[in-house]
Amino acid sequence: MIEVLIDLIRYFLSILKSNQLDIPLIKPIIALIMKIVAQIPIPYLSNLVDFILAVILWRPLFAVVVMPGLTVLMIYLLYIVWFERKLTARIQWRVGPLEVYRPLRGAIQALADGIRYLFQEAIVHKDAHRPYFVQLPILAFIPVLLPIAFIPAGNVVGIKSPYAVQLTIAFISLIPITVIAIGWASNSRFAFIGSVREALMYVAYEIPFIVAAISMIFLYKSGDPYIIVENQWIPGAILNPLAFLVFLIAMLMATSRLPFEIPEADQEIAFGPFVEYSGILFGLVMVLAYEKLYVMALLFTILFLGGWNGIYISLLGDLNAPIWLTIKTIVVISIIAMVRSMYARYRIDQAIRIGFSWLLAFSMVALAIGVVIGYEGGI
């Protein structure tokens, strides 16, 4: 019986070992760990450690769980909430979060807030549809996190697919449905108005967004991120600046950032669909927009900024691609975070007019540019 189990583990191990990350930098560290472990007189310990390391360094798992997947996403969330507040404060002649660990200039403020949300009572009010109200914030994570499995970073990829870009766009388009459902389950006036506004905004940005992405697919003649990145010896932003602009604005609209912060307008409808949430549930719905922004920025980096192309450091080996992708993504998001302190909120009709008039027109022109460049076979 035990032999069968060990055989099974060996079989798994051989699968894992066949697709390991190749990082010259950590090879001596692994060797050192294995040497130390071998000296500890516990049976099977060295095999166990070997197995754990093999699991972590297994490429698909590494892509989804570590980089650019969940671990980086969590660190990014802590970083962006702090960074956005700090940057806004800087532009506004203030200091921003400072007192939660002063020597770090308030860098763990977001962590402190997260812990507070965790221990706060999550109130479910009487009128809410209780099952949906509680489970929707968690369900909302599915369309947000699934694209991460498809977005590759060099050799590090969860599920390799030639249609990764299209799939990501499809999943991103699913996110507003959960937000609308959250507003419906909250069963409050503000939440209801907020979800209606979210639906209207969805109509406004979705078409230009998809058309801009399709124009890039035409341009590269493929939806496969590998081909897209390979072809980008000139970044896509220069090849098709109109698509770049449309995608950027659609990104602001989709994540309800400030000129288009219409579904959550604080002064008008008091945080819209999320008005009734509290405690950890609020923490979950609050980071939803940030996670959506992360996924969209990953796509944005791949389509327009050359994906994981960067200076190759041989010491990092396979880790080069995920690191470059993450750095580019976070730089993009950090620049987008600045928009919050620059613009006032548009009215909903103005936002929809922007979406349907020149944003749509620009995306059509971008599509034409994409088709022309793709047809000529310029790259």
Partner 1 sequence: MKVEFKARRLDLLRMHLDVIREAFKQAVAPDRVTVEYPRERKKYPANFRGIIVFDKDKCISCFRCAHICPANAIQMTFYEKAWPGIDYTKCIFCHFCVDSCPTGALRSTKIHDIAFATMGEMKLNAVQMLKAPELTREDSFTVEYVVDSQGWRLEKKAEIDELALEQFIIPEKRRVSVCVDPESCLGCRLCVELCPNDAISVDRKANKLNILPEKCTGCGICVRNCPMKVLELKEVK
Partner 2 sequence: MKEIAIDVPVEPPKELESLFLPIPKEYVEEVYRNDEFLILVGPQHPGSGHMRLIVRVKGDVIQEVIPDPGYVHRAIEKIAETRLYVQNIPLVERPAIMDSANLNLGYVRAIEDGMDLEVPERAKYLRTILAELCRIGTHLYDAAILSVFLGHTTGFMYPFGIRELICESLVKMTGARFTSSFIIPGGVRRDVSKEILDWIYSATFAIEKRLRSFERLFIKNPTVVARLKDVGVLSKKEAIEFGVVGPFLRASGVEYDVRKVEPYEAYDKVDWDIVVADDGDSYSRFLVRVNEVAQSLKIIRQCIAEIPGGKVISDQICEGNDIRGEFFEKLAGIVLPAGEFTTLTEAARGSVIYTIVSDGESNVPYRLRVVTPGWLYLRGFMESLKGERLADLQAIYGSFGYFPPEADR
In angstroms, rounded to a whole number, what is the distance separating the alpha carbons of residues 162 and 73? 24
Structural contact between residues 322 and 68, judged by C-beta atoms closer than 8 angstroms: yes
CB of 238 to partner 2, least distance (A): 26
Interface with partner 2: number of residues (CB under 8 A): 23
Q: What is the DSSP-derived secondary structure letter of residue 258?
A: G
Is residue 127 involved in binding partner 2 (CB under 8 A)? no
Query: 152: cis peptide before it, omega within 30°?
Result: no
Return the range that interacts with partner 2 (CB under 8 A); candidates 88-96, 147-155, 245-253, 322-330.
88-96
Question: CB-wise, 254 or 354, nearer to partner 2?
Answer: 354
- Window 229-258: residues binding partner 2 (CB under 8 A): 258
357 touches partner 2 (CB under 8 A): no
* The entry of partner 2, partner 1, none that residue 95 binds, CB within 5 to 8 Å by partner kind: partner 1
- What single string gives the DSSP state of each residue in 180-234? HHHHHHHT-HHHHHHHHHHHHHHHHHHHHHHHHHHHHHHHHT-S-HHHHHHHTTS
Query: Which one of partner 1, partner 2, none interacts with residue 206, CB within 5 to 8 A by kind?
Result: none
Using CB under 8 A, which of 91, 142, 234, 361 touches partner 1?
91
Tell me if 343 contacts partner 1 by CB under 8 A: yes
Q: CA 259, CA 266: separation in Å to the nearest integer?
A: 13
Burial (CB count <10 Å: 0-12, 13-18, 19+), residue 44: exposed
The verdict on 90 binding partner 1 (CB under 8 A) reads: yes
Distance from the first to the final alpha carbon of the chain: 58
C-alpha pair distances (Å), 68 with each of 64, 105, 150, 180, 326 = 7, 27, 11, 28, 6
Least distance from partner 1 to the Cβ atom of residue 235, Å: 20
Quick check: 361 binds partner 1 (CB under 8 A)? Answer: no
Task: Please give the residues from 254 up to 283 whose contact with partner 2 meets the rule CB under 8 A.
Answer: 258-259, 261, 265-268
Cα torsion angle, 60, 64, 65, 67, sign: positive
Q: Given the complex with partner 1, which of 101 and 184 has the nearer CB atom?
A: 101
Which pair of tokens denotes residue 231?
A: 């072809």
Q: Is 347 in the site for partner 1 (CB under 8 A)?
A: no
Q: 3-state DSSP call for residue 153?
A: strand
Residue 343 binds to partner 2 (criterion: CB under 8 A) = yes
Q: What is the nearest approach in angstroms of partner 1 to the Cβ of residue 111?
A: 22
Q: Least separation, in Å, of the C-beta of 252 and partner 2?
A: 12
User: Which positions touch partner 2 (CB under 8 A)?
Assistant: 88, 91-94, 258-259, 261, 265-268, 340-350
